[in-house]
Amino acid sequence: MIVALGGGIGASKLLLGICQVIDPSELTVIVNTADDVVLHGLTICPDLDTVAYTLAGMADRERGWGIEGDSFNALSWLDRYGREAWFNLGDRDLATHLHRTALLRQGLTLAEVTDRIRRSLGIRTHILPMTNQRVSTIVLTDQGPRPFQEYLVRDGARHAVRGVRLEGVERSQPAPGVLEAIEAAEGIIICPSNPIISVGPILAVPGIRRALKMTEAPIVAISPVVGGRSLKGPTDRFLAGLGHEVSALSVARLYQDLLDLFIVDRSDSELLPAIEALPVKAFTADTVMQNLEAKVSLAKETLSSLASL
């Protein structure tokens, strides 16, 4: 059993590759939920949905979010009613949020709802939210605190990041199955996701970081920073905003108490000595997953590196 931690596009790309290499049911993904947002009365879980839609083969590849070929007719009418329409909601995607919200109101936990959705979509990989409780990433910007989606989507990530607060994280608990999956894992992968706002919240749920430190399973991370830039999303701004150098080395530092191995892009090979000096064992690979072949290739290297440990 392989366990992966992450959220968002970078993680989903790698997960898609992993599912080509091993039996998808042998993979458990622990997903960030601190980006979740309630809009129009609906509980929206962008990272959970990106992972599910990607693994179901229905993610929109162009946009990087939502369902391929989706329409946006409900959204245009929500706008007509004067509702906040800055958060893109496709019509098919809306069905996911309606279903999830209705089940949560019936009393199901987010983990139970997530499992129902992945079964309905024919996904064999286990998908676990990091927690069943509400945790919210608040971005502390030069314009004041902003809930994550407002910072990212509504305000277009244009305000300078000064810090991050994870509201509710102290009171949260790992969702059922999370600690068990980590304990039972043969190998653990920290996906190339934003270390501050995607992997960070997962590690901040009380008990998860400790379980990762305690497990005997090898842990490998892949840097989301390549050549001093984040491939996708505002990782660079978060690293810089929190006083870190924008480089794979900073990512290695953030995870160094957990890692057995760190994978950086070939273009960052000059960072290897500094990473090894942390000390974190590291190697290079092609981490820019432009197509399925590249995803499978990185997945193979990642999995075989775990097997070698």
- CA dist 247 and 225 (Å) reads 6
269 sits near its own copies (criterion: CB under 8 A): no
**Residue 124 sits in the site that holds its own copies (CB under 8 A):** no
Binding residue for its own copies (CB under 8 A) from 11, 94, 189, 248? 94
Q: How far is the CB of 60 from its own copies (least distance, A)?
A: 13
Among 1, 22, 37, 98, binds its own copies (CB under 8 A): 98
Q: Which stretch binds its own copies (CB under 8 A): 45-53, 78-86, 174-182, 263-271?
A: 78-86
Only one of the segments 35-43, 141-149, 214-222, 254-262 lies at the binding site for its own copies (rule: CB under 8 A); that segment is 35-43
120 binds its own copies (CB under 8 A): yes
| Residue 75 interacts with its own copies (CB under 8 A): yes or no | yes
Query: Exactly one of 99, 134, 232, 300 binds its own copies (CB under 8 A); which one?
Result: 99
Residue type, 100: R
Determine, following the binding rule CB under 8 A, whether residue 123 of this chain makes contact with its own copies.
no
Distances (CA, A) of 53 to 255, 274, 304: 28, 37, 26
Among 76-84, 191-199, 212-220, 301-309, which window interacts with its own copies (CB under 8 A)? 76-84
Identify which of residues 78 and 197 has a Cβ nearer to its own copies in the complex. Answer: 78
CB of 59 to its own copies, least distance (A): 14
Instruction: Tokens for 256, please give them.
Output: 């160094």
Total residues found in the chain within this entry: 309
Q: Which region, judged by CB under 8 A, interacts with its own copies, from 98-106, 147-155, 206-214, 226-234?
A: 98-106
Provide, rounded to whole angstroms, the least separation between the CB of residue 82 and its own copies.
6
Angle at the Cα of 157 from the Cα atoms of 154 and 163, rounded to 5 degrees: 115
Q: Which of 70, 115, 236, 265 binds its own copies (CB under 8 A)?
A: 70
Closest approach of Cβ 178 to its own copies, in Å?
24
Q: Which two tokens stand for residue 55?
A: 């693994």
Least separation in angstroms between residue 135's CB and its own copies is: 22
CB closer to its own copies, 85 vs 140: 85
Residues that bind its own copies (CB under 8 A): 40-42, 70-71, 73-78, 80-83, 90-92, 94-96, 98-99, 101-102, 105, 116-117, 120-121
